[in-house]
Amino acid sequence: MTQAPVWDYSSAPESAKVEIRPRYGLFIDGRWMDGRAGKHFPSVDPTSEQQLCQVTEATGAEIDKAFEAARRALRRWSRTPGRERGKFLFRIARRIQERARELAVLESRDSGKPIRESRDFDIPQVAQHFFHHAGWCDKLRYALPGVSDPRPVGVCAQIIPWNFPLLMAAWKLAPALACGNTCVLKPAETTPLTALRLAEILDECELPRGVVNIVTGGPETGRAMVEHPGFDKIAFTGSTEVGKAILRACAERPVRLTMELGGKSPNIVFADAPIDQAIEGIVEGIWFNQGQVCCAGSRLLVEESVLGEVVAKVRLRMERLRVGDPLDKNTDVGPINSAVQRDRVKRYLRIGVDEGATLHECGTSALPDRGYFCRPAFFTEVQPSATIAREEIFGPVLAVMSFRTPDEALLRANNTPYGLSAGVWTNKGSKILEIARSLKAGVVWCNGFNLFDAASPFGGFKESGFGREGGRHGLREYLSH
């Protein structure tokens, strides 16, 4: 294959300026408050490694206050007519759309994700999520078959990760509020800023106080939330390991749970696939958001007869990925979210090489001097038993393997404790549906990957968790039935 030259682009930085206060408090009962313990921690820009601002670490006393506020607010909010609750959610959706650019820039600064993604994916999806659920508020009696008068579950504890900070907040808050619940939400330690900005928007939209409370902090704050007796339901998105710890911590009491956990999702390319389209899907599957996606297509299974072609084209495409400043509109791949995560990815790269796989890194452009950058990469000559083929890396690292028959593809694809998502590439519609029905995964994308919509449920089989988010099926998690 002839190698076309890689073009240089002039930088095209996003020019919108976003105000970041030097310090943020906690949003509890409709007011901003400082932690009593006066503890703060920095939120760091992963591109510059500089502190963006100080954020308050919520401790036991503030967690108490947050759950008390949510409990107080529950009575009125749950009895607010659905149509009126819906109007609050419509209003929130509209304000998010109107402040989209600001939210996108803030998201990219705090998380490191390319502005192209935060602007074109994250924030539009956030708005859609509120808009979709706004319309459900007065139609809940149609949500669950046979349940004519579903009631809210009550006070919800919600803990979300750093990979899609505001989108995960929307996935948690929008259905909970639509169903008449009240919430205490904890954004991730490294990416609290857009959730705090959302608190301002909720305030601006005159959402009754206490309906949504936002507490920031790290693992200690999370633990204090999980062990708190003040909630009826806990919804968690994050690693399978932490999810299991939460299940154990909640074992003594009858709380409702939603778990959206890890994955090691297969992306299966058959010889009769539209190959060029599949290459884009592979790229989207593993290098979208630096691979920090629970449903990332991190295991590529290619039919043997097209393995050479697919690997060559993936490599060519990878060489053209632009790694750099996430605020540059040309950037495809930003920095990893934190130093800890960057080190974890590097460790897996070493393990992959040590276990005998061949590493291919995107090596054309120099990485910036600063920032937690990591080159997009893929491995070939990967044994199915290799660590990099089994464990979730949560980074821009793809493991490429081959298969000979559809049965072998399925066997390999399903040979994992996870079951979050899967991709199938073939131009044969009947084969698509046969493979899709045999895959043990909550979401199967055919001739596509990493597709999301507020009207479509998302969630895993097996150790990828339980419960669904989005669509009619997601409402079940926030209703008593």
Partner 1 sequence: MQRLPVVKTHKLFIGGAFPRTESGRSTALKGASNGVIAHLCRASRKDLRQAVEAARAALPAWSRAAPYLRGQILYRFAEMLEGRAAELASALRATSSRSAASTQREVRASIDRLVSMAGWSDKLAMVLGGQNPVAGPYYTFTTPEPVGVCVTIAESSSPLLAFVSLAAPALVAGNTVVAIACERHPLAALLLAESAPTSDLPAGVLNLLTGELAELMPHLASHRDVDAIVAAVPARHAPALRCGAAENLKRVRLVDPGANFEQEEPWSGASAFDGLVELKTIWHPMSA
- Say whether residue 411 binds partner 1 (CB under 8 A): no
Q: Would you call 260 a catalytic residue per the annotation? A: yes
* Residue 243: CB minimum distance to partner 1, A: 8
Catalytic choice (183, 294, 295, 362): 294
Site string for partner 1, 348-387 (x = CB under 8 A): ----------------------------------------
Answer yes or no: 294 catalytic. yes
Nearer to partner 1, 328 or 392 (CB): 392
Binding to partner 1 (CB under 8 A): which residues in 227-246? 240, 243-245
260, 284, 303, 392: the catalytic one is 260
Judged by CB under 8 A, which of 134, 250, 323, 401 binds partner 1? 250
Q: Is residue 426 close enough to count as binding partner 1 by CB under 8 A?
A: no
Q: Is 458 a binder of partner 1 (CB under 8 A)?
A: yes
Stretch that binds partner 1, among 161-169, 286-294, 355-363, 470-478 (CB under 8 A): 470-478
Residues 127-186, interacting with partner 1 (CB under 8 A) = 128, 144-147
How far apart are CB 455 and partner 1 at their closest, in Å?
A: 5
If one asks whether residue 251 binds partner 1 (CB under 8 A), the answer comes out as: yes
Stretch that binds partner 1, among 63-71, 215-223, 311-319, 467-475 (CB under 8 A): 467-475
Q: Is 448 in the site for partner 1 (CB under 8 A)?
A: yes
Is residue 429 involved in binding partner 1 (CB under 8 A)? yes
Check binding of 457 to partner 1 (CB under 8 A): yes
Q: Are 333 and 322 in contact (CB under 8 A)?
A: yes
**Which residues here bind partner 1, judged by CB under 8 A?**
128, 144-147, 240, 243-245, 247-248, 250-252, 254, 259, 261, 417, 429, 432-433, 436-437, 441-448, 451, 453, 455-459, 461-466, 468, 471-473, 481
* Active-site annotation, residues: 260, 294
